[in-house]
Amino acid sequence: MNTRAILAIVRKDLKVALQNKGVVLPIVILPLILFVVLPWIMAYASSLTGMSGASMSNVDELLKRMPSGLLNELSPYNQEQQMIVFSLVYMLAPMFLIMPLMVSSVLAADSFAGEKERKTLEALLYTPTTDRELFTAKLLGAWTAAVAVALLSFVVYAVMVNAAGWQSIGQVFFPNWMWIALVFWVSPAVAGLGLVVMVFVSARAQGFQDAYQTGGLVVLPVIFLMIGQISGAMYFSLGVVLLVGAAVWLLDIILLRFASKSFRRGELMTKF
């Protein structure tokens, strides 16, 4: 493998992508809303709930629907604190996965479909880079950036969550082991999933926007996880997170095999 060529493509792809407003805006705005604004709103809403008797009975009802494992994890806290911990630590956990998924797919859309749109792919295909190097470079750039943004978002979220909940809880309560597994085990896998899906979508898309819109459907499983958690059908325990991670990694490996097979110069020249 020609690492020099791979790194050159990674650097170039990121540089080009970061000059596209369609790429940069969601990468900046989404974490700002999810990991800076939302924690404060949730913490404020939870503390308001704590002041109202009627709302407290609603919280009680909501928590009663939750799996016993979650109730055990919330048991050290009083009811107001439980609401804060539940909303900031558990309810938002699946939403965190949107971040690596979105970043990897938006960058991959720019890298694959965008390259097709800009008509720059052909020159790249005439270079001595092998199909495998090209594929690796294209995936590596978007994946590394997605994981880096996810890590950064996690650090920002950790600070925001503890700051927002400090008044009610009075101690550092975030992250727990579930979140550590979510960030370091599941989010890289989810970033990979966004990438491979976008490789397939880009082969049929006309350009960046087209690929990004079609590939956006990949967030649906994350939405289902969120609904499952809010409805009490499941909760993000450490075990569930490890299991979800393993499933996504497995899916990544299977899809990657197919994607790498279709990523051949001849195919690219006709499809891309």
Residues interacting with another protein, by CB under 8 A?
A: 2, 4-5, 7-9, 12, 15-16, 19-20, 118-130, 265-266, 269-270
User: Length of the chain, please?
Assistant: 272
Closer to another protein by Cβ: residue 20 or 55: 20
Contacts of 185 (CB under 8 A, 6+ apart): 241, 242, 245
Closer to another protein by Cβ: residue 6 or 169: 6
Closer to another protein by Cβ: residue 53 or 266: 266
Closer to another protein by Cβ: residue 2 or 79: 2
CB of 145 to another protein, least distance (A): 16
CB of 9 to another protein, least distance (A): 7
CB of 80 to another protein, least distance (A): 51
**Angle (nearest 5°) at CA 138 between 152 and 190:** 45
Helix 21-32 crosses helix 98-111 at what angle (to 10 degrees)?
Answer: 180
What tokens does 57 get? 């009975």
Closer to another protein by Cβ: residue 173 or 208: 208
Query: Rounded to an integer, what distance in angstroms lies between the CA atom of residue 10 and that of residue 15?
Result: 9
Q: Do 91 and 180 contact (CB within 8 A), yes or no?
A: no
Query: Amino acid identity, residue 78?
Result: N
Q: What share of the chain is helix, strand, coil (3-state, %, to 5)?
A: 85, 0, 15
CB of 258 to another protein, least distance (A): 19
Query: Rounded to an integer, what distance in angstroms lies between the CA atom of residue 51 and that of residue 56?
Result: 8
CB of 135 to another protein, least distance (A): 14
